[in-house]
Amino acid sequence: MWLTSDSPAQHKRISEIEKKYIEHCLKDSARSSEDEALNIPWKKIAMSLPVWAIIVSNTTSDWGAYTLMTNIPTYMKEVLKFDIAANGLLSALPYIIFWLLINVSGWLADFVRKKRILSTTVTRKSFDAFGKIVPAIMLIGLGYVDCTQPVTGVVLLMLGVCLTGFQYSGFVVNHVDIAPAYAGILFGISNSIAAVTGFISPVVVGVITTKGQTRTEWQYVFFISAAIYVFGAIFYIIFASGELQPWARSTQEPEGNAMVHLEGDKNRKYEEHDDMMKNHDY
């Protein structure tokens, strides 16, 4: 509360050039003044396919994340037969690499957009799909591992967890792409819905593995998670967008211009950023 501000203009430690750049990039979607009421287009949000793409992607991502996070120690103990000390270390290691890959994928996504290798829409879809489909393959492979292949099991488990970090450059940041002014609201909606899987997926896993923690039972667990990952990736590929949505544009803009996207020429923001960095009097 003490370190944050309501807007870049009110932040006490932001540089002038950074403030101008942020305000300029958001000029099409932000309120013209802090006194202006934020009229939230609830109906248009509810009917927006890019919004639902984010919600579905977030929900399917959380299903896999909660399934693995809450059950990795049990799986490693009951199936791979690791002792308590090794179990604790190996259960934490995938999430350390996961954190590193979130940062690496973020840098990589910005790089391919800035260099115009991929558009924002293709970048979001590609990173999200990679962060779901590849881990899904790892989980399918994990279903065929038993106690005689502990190293293989650990490697597949690590890849299945840490590679999901690429999704953060997909659906997670996508809220800001499609509706900067409502990004917080959209994230609250999508994350709240997705969080429901936090208590559903452990129950499902418990029901499936209740008899004897056998490899066959864990196969069902991993196959279900893999199928959910793939469904989320496909839905997101079809319906997601990386462009500012018409309903998220500034209310001061004429309706006839609503389809002119903030990213209209596929990276205008980066060009303007470069110009501003050359001329601080922007």
Task: Check residue 254 and give its pLDDT.
Answer: 45
Residue 169 Cα distances to 36, 126, 159, angstroms: 32, 9, 17
Domain 56-246+259-268 is found in CATH 1.20.1250.20: yes
Ramachandran quadrant class, 40 (left: phi over 0; alpha: psi -120 to 50; beta: rest): beta
Lowest-pLDDT range of 15-24, 54-63, 175-184, 201-210: 15-24
Higher-confidence residue: 260 or 205? 205
Task: Check residue 253 and give its pLDDT.
Answer: 47
Question: Could you tell me the pLDDT band of residue 193, with boundaries at 50, 70 and 90?
Answer: very high
241 touches 94 (CB < 8 A): no
Domain ranges in the chain are: 56-246+259-268
pTM assigned to the model: 0.79
